[in-house]
Amino acid sequence: MIARIDGETLCLILQRGDDGLAHLVWFGPKNNDVMARAPHFQRLPASPDVPVGPTLHPAHGHGFHNIAQVEAHCHKTRRLLRLKPPEFAASDRQITLNSHDESLGVRVVTTMTFRGDALAVTCCLHNDGETSIDVTRAASLLIPTPDWASRLVTWAGAWGREGHYTERDWSTGRIEQLGRAGRPGFDGGPTLSLLETGANVAHGRWLTAHLAWSGAFRLAAERATDGSGQLLAERLLAPGEIRLEPGASLVLPETVVALSYEGSNGVSRVYHDIIRSEGLRVKRLVHFNTWEARYFDVTEEKCISLAKQAAELGAERFVLDDGWFKGRHNDETSLGDWSADEAKFPNGLMPLIDAVHAEGMEFGLWLEPEMVSPDSDLCRDHPDWVLGWPEAELATGRNQLVLDLSLPAVREHLFLTIAALLDAYPISYVKWDCNRDLYPATSGGVASLGLQTEGLYELLDRLRIAYKVQIESCASGGGRIDAGIASRTDRFWASDTTDAIDRLRVQRAASFAMPTERLGCHIGPSPNPMTGREISMEFRVLAALFGHMGIEANPAHFNDNDKAILMRGLEISKAHRDWMGDGQLLNLSEPGDDPDLQMLVSAGGDQALLRIMRVNTPVRPLQPRIRLAGLDQQSHYELVELALRGDPMVWPLGNFMGRGLMHDGLVLDSARALTGRLIHLRKTE
């Protein structure tokens, strides 16, 4: 039996082999499907009489010792789950795999479908039997890996230092990308890539798996000594977390797989397309955020003054960050008590909101609904609403505990509290923060990692249905960036660092899977409060320009020259943001290269922006030509430089053929440290 589904340019073909198992025989360009062949596993000495290797829904017990699709057992008898080879069926758009353990009454059902060229894989476990089943682990995605995969890419980092690219050899053994902390974390989230030797941003084959899940996860690539390999993506389960009672089901998070023959840029295009197709179309207003302007020192008078200054610079949305609510003077108190502090805002938030609206801006508000301070009315009234062991003194992080979102009463309280704010005030935007990991991730001492994430999703979904409010996802910066939360929010705060040099790396990493317009990129102070570096306003503006632009600094500390440069940068952003939100991001340089080179090409290909960011002084004074990408070879393009200072603001560079720009390139690197250039291309014929 053969089953096949097609994407835009790719296809997936499964075949039942002579061994009765379901084999992946082709995942690649559909115009090359003639290459589909069932794998042949050679019988070797000291090996099973019937050779086995990675298949779809692999199971232990017949000589296969790699990763199994599901590991579970009967709670009463301790009998292990034993899945039969899957039956599979295909429609025009979907393949379904269905495996049974008839003795235990368990079914495992996997569906595969294309959305564009993104392969979306989902898996569900059903207990149709009469006894409880304890699930140790269960994979959303488990597929054989291609034999060309010889390199592996993950990301690493920490708070304020997210996005460090890590590439290594992958020959034999297992390499994992793990998140155990209850949120994806600063190590790049639930994403893992396999690539062939020599592949880079623009060339070569990449296979990437991304788990649409905002909780604990595991992604792994494993290759056995016989050369066969597997790619795994799964929600990470804690001991005792999942017991399927008779009649119950476990729906696992979706995995989105991208295959590119055009380097990592091709992977990003697949993910950007699917994230955009499932998100809301919203106008990317220029933000002003109060945090690095005033931190906790916010009052009605001071914020109204900030609002006027922000509007003069060109901001379109004013976001009041932490410090506005009852008793909140530092991070040691008051989370959970979401009413305006009477000492800071004696008349509530309405006078500030009226002032913001009078300046022509929308109003946004910072909340951290998932957390609670021990020193808060909410925690004193409901000490049983926090994660942990009831008899233990609980560990705090940033002086706060985690509310137990598995409890319906907690979710109801949070919904009504947020709804009361949205009903009382014209709030168009919520910055939703999550400033600590989940520890201990137990509800009454029972493992609750997954239930916490599911409770968060339910709360966000309910709010999205009830209110037309945009939501920004922040988790101590970039601690929760994944497709699961992306479908419920409109923007990510990619990192708590606003240092423009660090942000180049952070934003590049985040934009691997997320469209750039989803990434909040703010112009911060100089010297930067986190790194102490002094960076010119031009460089800071250019670093923020390819994302969702904003300001996070006190305007009173800007001199007139910096204000003029900033205002010019915001004008450029507003002039191009509509097409940039649909544009294709192309990296022209490799991670860590200097200069950092990126292009955004419009969906119709009629225009583009090229950004050149030089951090260090080059070793050699003679700079190589910069070759562009994504252009029509036969068309002519007019190039102009968009200057942030001086007069005129537009400097013509000439008219060039697309072929020449891509094959030969231009000398555009300024070769001076901490400088950048922005080039606009317009197709003329």
Is 331 one of the catalytic residues?
no
Neighbours of 111 (CB within 10 A): 15
Q: Which pLDDT belongs to residue 32?
A: 84
**For residues 303-322, average pLDDT:** 98
Q: Which pLDDT belongs to residue 227?
A: 85
Alpha-carbon distance of 602 to 508, in angstroms, equals 19
Q: Which residues contact residue 620 at a Cβ distance below 8 angstroms, ignoring those fewer than 6 apart?
A: none
- What average pLDDT does the structure give for the chain? 95
Active-site residue identified among 273, 437, 490, 496:
496
pLDDT interval class at 58 (50, 70, 90): very high
Least confident range of 17-26, 50-59, 579-588: 50-59
DSSP result, 224-280: -TTS-EEEEEEEPPPTT-EEE-TT-EEEPPPEEEEEESBHHHHHHHHHHHHHHHHS-
Q: What is the percent of the chain with per-residue pLDDT over 70, rounded to a whole number?
A: 99
What kind and span of H or E run contains 451?
A: helix 449-466
Q: Which pLDDT belongs to residue 18?
A: 81
Q: Which pLDDT belongs to residue 28?
A: 95
Tell me which residue of 136, 124, 140, 137 sits closest to 248, measured CA to CA: 124
Phi, psi (degrees; rounded to nearest 5) at 140 = -70, -40
Q: Which pLDDT belongs to residue 19?
A: 83
Alpha-carbon distance of 250 to 432, in angstroms, equals 28
Q: Would the pLDDT of 233 be above 90?
A: yes
Question: How does pLDDT run across 244-280, given as a tens digit for each residue?
Answer: 999 999 999 999 999 999 999 999 999 999 999 988 8
**For residues 532-545, average pLDDT:** 98
Bridge partners, residue 114, by sequence: 119
Cis peptide before 144 (omega within 30 of 0): no
Alpha-carbon distance of 171 to 37, in angstroms, equals 23
Active-site residue identified among 273, 321, 433, 482:
433
Pairing label, strands 141-144, 229-235:
antiparallel
Buried b or exposed e, range 431-453, using 16+ CB within 10 angstroms: bbbbbbbbbbbbbeeebbbbbbb
Bridge partners, residue 585, by sequence: 600
Q: Would the pLDDT of 327 be above 90?
A: yes
Q: What is the DSSP letter of 335?
A: T
Q: Which pLDDT belongs to residue 279?
A: 81
**For residues 584-589, average pLDDT:** 98
What kind and span of H or E run contains 42?
A: none
**For residues 169-191, average pLDDT:** 93
DSSP result, 64-124: --S--SEEEEETTT-PBP-PPPPEEEE-SSEEEEEEEETTTTEEEEEEEEEETTEEEEEEE
The C-alpha R_g of the chain, in whole angstroms, comes to: 27
Neighbours of 406 (CB within 10 A): 19
Q: Which pLDDT belongs to residue 350?
A: 98
- Tokens 């155990």 found at: 180
DSSP SS3 for 63 = coil
pLDDT interval class at 37 (50, 70, 90): confident
**For residues 598-620, average pLDDT:** 96
Tell me which residue of 394, 489, 373 sits closest to 438, measured CA to CA: 394
Alpha-carbon distance of 474 to 431, in angstroms, equals 7
Please report which residue ranges of 279-406 form alpha helices under DSSP H: 291-294, 300-313, 350-358, 377-381
Question: How does pLDDT run across 416-458, given as a tens digit for each residue?
Answer: 999 999 999 999 999 999 999 999 999 999 999 999 999 999 9
Q: How many angstroms separate the most distant Cα atoms in the chain?
A: 82
Q: Would the pLDDT of 53 be above 80?
A: no
Phi, psi (degrees; rounded to nearest 5) at 517 = -70, -15
Question: How many C-alpha atoms does 369 have within 13 Å on its Cβ side?
Answer: 26
Alpha-carbon distance of 3 to 24, in angstroms, equals 10
Angle at 585 between CA 157 and CA 477, to 5 degrees: 30
DSSP SS3 for 556 = helix
Q: Would the pLDDT of 65 be above 90?
A: no
Question: How does pLDDT run across 463-512, given as a tens digit for each residue?
Answer: 999 999 999 999 999 999 999 999 999 999 999 999 999 999 999 999 99
**Whether the predicted model's global pTM rises above the 0.85 cut:** yes
Q: Which residue has the higher pLDDT, 65 or 303?
A: 303
**For residues 569-576, average pLDDT:** 97
Q: Which pLDDT belongs to residue 335?
A: 98
Q: Which pLDDT belongs to residue 164?
A: 94
Is 433 one of the catalytic residues?
yes
Domains and CATH numbers, the chain: 53-269 (2.70.98.60), 287-581 (3.20.20.70), 586-683 (2.60.40.1180)
Q: Would the pLDDT of 572 be above 80?
A: yes
Q: Which pLDDT belongs to residue 378?
A: 98
